[in-house]
């Protein structure tokens, strides 16, 4: 009986991961927790013990994109990475790094492009955008740095062509410690302009 229940729980967990991936892919939800809640509501699940982990949702999203995305996903991802590279070159003095789904390859057509930039004063990034005539808004982004500590950083949102760029501003020494990934809790992968350029030139 216990084994049968365990198999049923695993099947339900997989269904929830696939449903959460559908919400991310089809509706542009970027927050895995929100996608998880939508999936649970859609399938009528109230037992938190069977909710999938974020890494399981990301795996389901990758599989969904492999099965249904095809060439369109690859073309969209390359276009997003080109937009990211343009923005990174524009903000080159702030040592920009690409992070998130556009870097990992799980971005949907709805995904924002997330950058980390580094400055002794956060206002310096805003001033640079004003100098080149880029309208932007300023908000705050709270990031988990490790298991016990979260920190709020200023962030700027602006358009690069048809794409939305969200650039979080860290102090200069913030380049040494990446925040924790919301997917697996490990230090977030960051890529500089050279790495992004190489990704654009490589097959998706």
Residue-level pLDDT at 204: 66
Query: pLDDT tens for residues 163-184?
Result: 999 999 999 999 999 999 999 9
Q: Do residues 190 and 131 share a domain?
A: yes
DSSP of the chain, one letter per residue? Answer: -HHHHHHHHHHHHHHHHHHHHHHHHHH----HHHHHHHHHHHHT---GGGPPPHHHHHHHHHHHIIIIIHHHHHHHHHHHHHHHHHHHHHTGGG--EEESHHHHT---TTPPEEEEEE-SSTHHHHHHHHHTT--EEEEEEEEEEETTEEEEEEEEEEEETTEEEEEEEEPGGGGGSPPBPTTTSSBPP-B-HHHHHHHHHS--
Do residues 45 and 79 both lie within one domain? no
Q: What pLDDT, on the 0 to 100 scale, is given for residue 27?
A: 87
Q: CA nearest 165: which of 84, 109, 77?
A: 84
Give the count of domains, the chain.
Answer: 2
Determine which of 3-12, 96-105, 137-146 has the lowest per-residue pLDDT on average. 3-12
Here the CATH number for the domain that contains residue 145 is 3.30.460.10
Joined tokens for residue 202: 């490589």
Q: What is the mean pLDDT of residues 144-170?
A: 93
Distance CA(201)–CA(11), nearest Å, equals: 39
The whole-number pLDDT of residue 147 equals: 79
Q: Tell me the whole-structure pTM to 2 decimals.
A: 0.89
Query: Sign of the C-alpha dihedral, residues 56, 189, 128, 90?
Result: negative
pLDDT at 148: 85
Residue 98 and residue 40 share a domain? no
Same domain, 81 and 171: yes
Domain of residue 48: give its range: 2-52
DSSP lists the bridge partners of residue 180 as 187
Does residue 46 sit in the same domain as residue 78?
no
Residue 2 has what pLDDT? 46
Q: Residue 160's pLDDT band (boundaries 50, 70, 90)? A: confident
Q: Nearest Cα to 200, choosing from 82, 56, 73, 76?
A: 82
């Amino acid at each position: 009986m216990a084994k049968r229940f365990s198999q049923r729980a695993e099947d339900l967990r997989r269904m929830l991961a696939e449903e959460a991936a559908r919400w991310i892919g089809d509706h542009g939800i970027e927050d895995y927790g929100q996608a998880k809640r939508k999936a649970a509501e859609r399938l009528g699940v109230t037992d938190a013990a069977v909710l999938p982990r974020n890494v399981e949702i990301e795996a389901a999203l990758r599989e969904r994109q492999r099965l249904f995305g095809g060439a369109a996903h690859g073309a969209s991802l390359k276009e997003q990475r080109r937009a990211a590279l343009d923005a990174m070159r524009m903000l080159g003095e702030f040592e920009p790094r690409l992070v998130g789904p556009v870097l990992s390859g799980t971005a949907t057509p709805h995904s924002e492009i997330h950058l980390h930039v580094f400055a002794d004063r956060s206002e310096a990034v805003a001033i640079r955008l004003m100098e080149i005539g880029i309208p932007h808004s300023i908000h705050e982004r709270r990031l988990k740095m490790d298991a016990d500590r979260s920190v709020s950083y200023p962030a700027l949102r602006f358009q690069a062509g048809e794409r939305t760029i969200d650039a979080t501003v860290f102090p200069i020494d913030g380049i040494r410690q990446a925040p924790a990934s919301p997917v697996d809790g490990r230090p977030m992968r960051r890529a500089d302009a050279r790495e992004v350029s190489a990704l654009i030139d490589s097959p998706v």
